Amino acid sequence: MTPGERRLSLDTSAAPPSRPSLPALPWAWIGVTPFFVFAALFLVLPTALLVVGAFQTADGEFTLANLRDLTHPSIVAAYWISIQISAASAIGGAVIGAFLAYAAVGGGLPAWIRPTLMTFSGVASNFAGVPLAFAFLATLGRTGLVTWALANWFGVNLYATGFNLLSFFGLTLTYLYFQIPLMVLILTPALDGLRKEWREASQILGASTFQYWRWIGLPVLWPSLLGATLLLFANAFGAVATAYALTGSSLNIVTILLYAQIRGDVLHNQNLGYALALGMILITGFSNVAYIWLRGRAERWSR
């Protein structure tokens, strides 16, 4: 977090001595108390209670049994398919989004393409949840427009080929609708940070396009690329509404399982539900910590 530290030292050096009439510390802290009380009550404590619950029996005794029960095949399967869908939509979204962002930033296209793409990405990355599921049902559902067009114009019966919107592939395709734009939004500033001079310098020294990307472009970009991919992963992993509206409870992903558990204790053990939540926090937490770490590395080049 280099820039944070830099800003911080700047601020303290520029700070005038605090007003002598007020004792500096307690007064200063009162200003941020509401925020921390709010964060404690509605963010930290509720989560901490679940984490504690994951290590308790129904009577409140300490136990590791809940964590052991997470290895039940149906729960492992739910985590696994969630991880697969999140990884597929994150990697797909990252690769396609990176190409799109690069096309708009450095592709030599007309100037209006870039702002149009950015605005549209802002909309599409927020167009998730239940309406997105409706849109894809209208497109690739059994009576959807694309399904119909393929059958009538090309004679391809999509659903006879084994395709199903309510499946791993269908859900990944749907998630890409918000993953690709999110990647475009995150990566465009990083692409702007690739200085023209670096490319020109490499060309003068006789480097090919491939050599430029292999030795200059990708080494500079990789923390941004990988970090953004991890953020996309966490984004897909925690998603509930799209999957629920699309598949009901037919697809066994971990968020749907947790939803069913909260609604009706389908695991027949409240504390196992808490352990399920703990597992989700650990997975998204890991990918976000990695993202923040990589972003710190990436920012070294943007100065």
Partner 1 sequence: MKKPTFGPWLAVILGAAYFLIPLIATVEFSMRMKRGEYSFEAYRVVLGDPRFQESLAYSVVLALVTIVIGVLLVVPTAYWVQLRLPKLRPVVEFVTLLPLVIPAIVIVFGYLRMYNSQSWLPLTDSRRGTDLLLAFGYVTLALPYLYRSIDTGLRAIDVRTLTEAAESLGAGPMTILFRVIFPNIRSAILSGAFLTFAIVIGEFTFAALLDRPAFGPYLQLVGANRAYEPAALAIIAFVVTWACMGLIQVFGAARGAASKT
**Among residue numbers 205 through 234, which ones bind partner 1 (CB under 8 A)?**
231, 234
Among 1-9, 60-68, 187-195, 217-225, which window interacts with partner 1 (CB under 8 A)? 1-9
Distances (CA, A) of 228 to 59, 80, 267, 287: 42, 21, 34, 10
Shorter beta-carbon distance to partner 1: residue 48 or 64: 48
- 290: contact with partner 1 by CB under 8 A: no
CB 260 within 8 A of CB 243: no
Tell me which residues in 43-62 interact with partner 1 (CB under 8 A).
43-50, 53
SS3 62: strand
The DSSP line for 215-283 is IIIHHHHHHHHHHHHHHHHHHHHT--HHHHHHHTT-S--HHHHHHHHHHH-TTS-HHHHHHHHHHHHHH
Of 247, 229, 232, the closest CA to residue 175 belongs to: 232
- 176: contact with partner 1 by CB under 8 A: yes
Among residues 2, 157, 203, 208, which is the contact residue for partner 1, using CB under 8 A? 203
- 245: contact with partner 1 by CB under 8 A: yes
Among residues 104, 221, 225, 230, which is the contact residue for partner 1, using CB under 8 A? 104
Distances (CA, A) of 199 to 14, 109, 114, 195: 38, 18, 21, 7
Among 65-73, 87-95, 218-226, 285-293, which window interacts with partner 1 (CB under 8 A)? 285-293
Residue 155 CA from chain centroid, whole number: 38
Tell me which residues in 256-275 interact with partner 1 (CB under 8 A).
258-259, 262-263, 273-274
Among residues 2, 57, 84, 119, which is the contact residue for partner 1, using CB under 8 A? 119
Give the tokens for residue 143. Answer: 């009576």
Tell me which residues in 139-158 interact with partner 1 (CB under 8 A).
139, 143-146
